[in-house]
Amino acid sequence: MQFAILIYSSEEAMLKADPANKQQILAAYQAYTQALQSAGALGPWSRLRPTASATTVRIADGKTQVLNGPFADTREQLGGFYIIDVPDLDAAIGWAARCPSAAIGTIEVRPIWDPKDY
CA distance 77 to 50: 9
pTM for this model (two decimals): 0.87
pLDDT-above-90 percentage for the chain: 72
Q: Is the pLDDT of residue 106 over 90?
A: yes
What are the start-end ranges of the H helices in 19-88? 19-38
CA distance 65 to 58: 5
Q: Assign 41 to helix, strand or coil.
A: coil
- Domain of residue 61 covers 2-117
The structural domain count of the chain equals 1
* CATH code for the domain of 25: 3.30.70.1060
Between CA 46 and CA 21, with CA 16 as vertex, the angle to 5 degrees is 70
Stronger pLDDT, 53 or 5, i.e. the higher one: 5
User: For residue range 24-69, what is the model confidence (pLDDT) as tens digits?
Assistant: 999 999 999 999 999 999 999 999 998 888 888 889 999 999 988 7
